[in-house]
Structure 1
Amino acid sequence: MNKDNPAISPVDQATKIAQLARYGSGSYLASDVIVLLDIVNKEAIADVPVSQKEALIQNGQRHYSDMLTLESAPTAMHEQLYAQALTQGTQRTATDIANLAYSLHDIFYQSITNKNPLVLISLVRAGLPVGVLLQRALADTNSAYNLPSVHYGISIIRDRGLDPVALKMLLEAYPNSPIVFVDGWTGKGAIYQELASSLASFNHPTDMNFANFFHQGLSVVPLLTLADPAGVAWLAASTDDWLIPSGLLNSTVSGLISRSLYTEPQYGLHRSIFYDNLVEVDHSLAFIDHIDMARQQLTVLPVALATFGQPRYQTAALIDELAIKYDISNRNRIKPTIAEATRAILRRDPECVLLATADHPDTLLLRHLCAQRDINIEVLGVKILPYQAITLIKQRNTTADN
């Protein structure tokens, strides 16, 4: 972070920021976020059935980020369970956002300005709703945590990292700003590791962008999450595995944006599609408005949360035990947390679902989907805590396990 770098004129910087504004915001407001993705026509993307996609992934023929199974509108039951989760989780989500915003204010208020704002980078897609809520909170001049900030969404893909083209664009537009990465939750910590790997080349005090990323110290990756069961985030509202409402839906709570598709850096930004056919069932803005209003009406004072310099990997031993017990050689087939377990059922080909409790209210949708698809459930009790749910992906190939 080159504080007031004289080599970068205000005119040049303003031009670069204006160029970023050409990109869309999905179904969010332009003031909420700019998503640095190349939005392509969905008719140009092959719609690969789940079973075929699973086989291609596991036999090593295709990477998951090269394929997409197009989303359908959620069922009436799915919508009903989302509505219940929203009712149940509104106060907690609002309180967690307020505490995260207050913590960011506490850390950065002395070092950032309107000229050099805090840059929030949400990891597409699960990070988008959290990032938008944080951007709204930080922009609230009536709050105790108002802070100059801007918010962008960029792609991160397992095994392939952060989109380097998008990252370069942001560094050029905000050369003197600290960056914080935002995600919804952590499962095993794989995305944290991907993020750390993508930032490794900047992790030296002599690098011109060192302070943009490592403003909290050498090797401290500034990842913020709403929930951090894996124990890898720098800043998180909790380490609980709970029913985050935005974790129950896909594009219809994430700006109608699809999961990102990989693009070689020489060809531009990672790609995505916009689900214009799902506009009538989109909850993205309604979710943001609902939680943001609840945040504004909170009567309890926000608190500064603890930060961590290095990951604790508090569930690594549990993941290892499950891999041995179920003869899984690749941890990518293990999808922990309620949100990831639910998404895996919707997007992948599951073998079974592990639950801590047979009738926990937070796993109602998960159990409904299992019944609908005749997926076996095993109740393992405290053995899988802090996770409430884990989906194990079916092995489709005996010679490869991806």
Structure 2
Amino acid sequence: MSANHSTMTTNKSNAKAEKVRNDNLESTKLKDRHLASYGSGSYLASDVTVLLDIVDKEAVADVPVTQKEALIQSGQRHYSDMLTLEHAPSAMHEQLYTQALAQGTQRTATDIANLAYALHQNFHNTVDSEGPLVLVSLVRAGLPVGVLLQRALADTDSLYSLPSVHYGISIIRDRGLDPLALEILLEAYPNSPIVFVDGWTGKGAIYQELAHSLETFSKPTHPNFTNIFHQGADAIPLLTLADPAGVAWLAASSDDWLIPSGLLNSTVSGLISRSLYTAPQEGLHRSVFYDNLIEVDHSLAFIDHIDTARQQLTTAPSQLPTFTQPRYDTKTIIDTLAARYQITNRNRIKPTIAEATRAILRREPERVLLASSDHPDTALLRHLCTEYHIDITILGAKILPYQAVTLIKQRTTHT
């Protein structure tokens, strides 16, 4: 080969490489602009990007709880096709949240520090600013936990500083994780591991939904296998603050305790509504932004309060265990309750203090089961039961580690 031909070949190769670099750069810019086009609810833009199509609440039918329950249980409508618009919490509800926050600040701050430390231990050798850890909060109970973790990992004065980014995406029971939102993240961060974040586990239903949604990536030959299955071929990387169900890869504890953010809905979750389903070919899952509740929003105040407490901790973070397989620690309890109350549709059983409380506020409860009649963590639940004339049954140790379970009222001939 002549020197001139060699030079021409080299020039062509360089030009081709430069074109690829430019195309990649332009592609990255487009992705950045695409991601930047989404909002963060009432959180700071540096806290989270929520990959949801925010729609006007005036365009969403406000379905009364009783009507919604009948439609869901009769199979006429899926719960993610309807919304009961939220109103401002009552004065008593606000007071009990304030009490829960005062009571739970140190525990929440400590749990976040321990979780951040565990993430640092697992990923500090494999992530960097070019390929950061991607925290994906499951909208919406995961959002406050994800924001707190993002702030903790960004704290360069801590023992657990780690390059990370944080997004929120929708997951809907029976319909799965929003595939379009996940695709956007995988394209934007092709070299990053993903960790999914939720507030707590109840029966493990969302874990199962997540695992089902991720099956398509579970073959080692899939190009995104290592993005998701970085803990092993069977390990779903789900992180939670509390994991009574025994399904999370990483959790601060397995206790059912009064998580402050579990007591409010949108006003501690960035003013974002529960997500509404959209078919993948039509776009991202949808949500409403409750701009009418701005004056009673605690979202940023909650984050600032817990994050300040975390920074003031004087004890070193603890080592947390991780699990590659679900344990389903409370499956027997759910089976027993289903048999006792003749329930075949497990969706009518809402365990954990947080889920039991939300069920009273969003659904139509039949009764509430408590482990104790005077446990301080169930004060709001007991208040709501009195206010809405809901029967309470004390079952003691039979439901532990759950402190509370709400049973949804049967509205059809099918249980």
- Residues 118-171 of structure 1 deviation map (CA, whole Å, 9 limit, x = unaligned): 000000000000000000000001000000000000000000000001010000
In structure 1, C-alpha distance between the alignment counterparts of 2:29 and 2:146, rounded to whole Å: 23
Alignment counterpart, residue 319 of structure 1, candidates 334, 349, 352: 334
2:151 aligns to what?
A: 136
In structure 1, C-alpha distance between the alignment counterparts of 2:385 and 2:327, rounded to whole Å: 32
Alignment counterpart, residue 91 of structure 2, candidates 76, 79, 83: 76
In structure 2, C-alpha distance between the alignment counterparts of 1:370 and 1:319, rounded to whole Å: 22
In structure 2, C-alpha distance between the alignment counterparts of 1:204 and 1:145, rounded to whole Å: 31
1:3 aligns to what?
A: none
Q: Percent identity?
A: 77
Other structure's SS at 2:103 match? helix
AA paired with 2:266? S
Residue 312 of structure 1 deviates from its aligned partner by 0.1
TM-score between the two structures when normalised by the length of structure 2: 0.94
In structure 1, C-alpha distance between the alignment counterparts of 2:304 and 2:84, rounded to whole Å: 29
Does 1:288 pair with 2:296?
A: no
2:3 aligns to what?
A: none
Residue 299 of structure 1 deviates from its aligned partner by 0.2
2:207 aligns to what?
A: 192
In structure 1, C-alpha distance between the alignment counterparts of 2:73 and 2:325, rounded to whole Å: 32
Residue 11 of structure 1 deviates from its aligned partner by 4.2
2:122 aligns to what?
A: 107
The answer on whether the counterparts of 1:109 and 1:147 sit within 8 Å (CA) in structure 2 is yes
1:229 aligns to what?
A: 244
- Residues 58-79 of structure 1 deviation map (CA, whole Å, 9 limit, x = unaligned): 0000000000000000000000
The answer on whether the counterparts of 1:106 and 1:304 sit within 8 Å (CA) in structure 2 is no
Task: Report 1:297-336 matches (<5 A).
Answer: 297-336=312-351
Task: Report 1:1-150 matches (<5 A).
Answer: 9-150=24-165
AA paired with 1:305? L
The answer on whether the counterparts of 1:119 and 1:150 sit within 8 Å (CA) in structure 2 is yes
Question: Aligned residue pairs: how many?
Answer: 395
The Cα RMSD (Å) is 1.0
Residue 17 of structure 1 deviates from its aligned partner by 2.7
- Residues 47-102 of structure 1 deviation map (CA, whole Å, 9 limit, x = unaligned): 00000000000000000000000000000000000000000000000000000000
Where does the alignment leave 5 or more consecutive residues of structure 1 unmatched?
A: 1-5
* Structure (1/2) with the larger helix percentage: 2
The answer on whether the counterparts of 1:13 and 1:174 sit within 8 Å (CA) in structure 2 is no
TM-score between the two structures when normalised by the length of structure 1: 0.97
Where in structure 1 do 4 or more consecutive aligned residues deviate above 3 Å?
none
RCO higher in 1 or 2 (8 Å CA, sep ≥ 6)?
1
Other structure's SS at 1:236 match? strand
2:405 aligns to what?
A: 390
The answer on whether the counterparts of 1:337 and 1:389 sit within 8 Å (CA) in structure 2 is yes
The answer on whether the counterparts of 1:13 and 1:172 sit within 8 Å (CA) in structure 2 is no
In structure 2, C-alpha distance between the alignment counterparts of 1:41 and 1:14, rounded to whole Å: 29
Residue 322 of structure 1 deviates from its aligned partner by 0.3
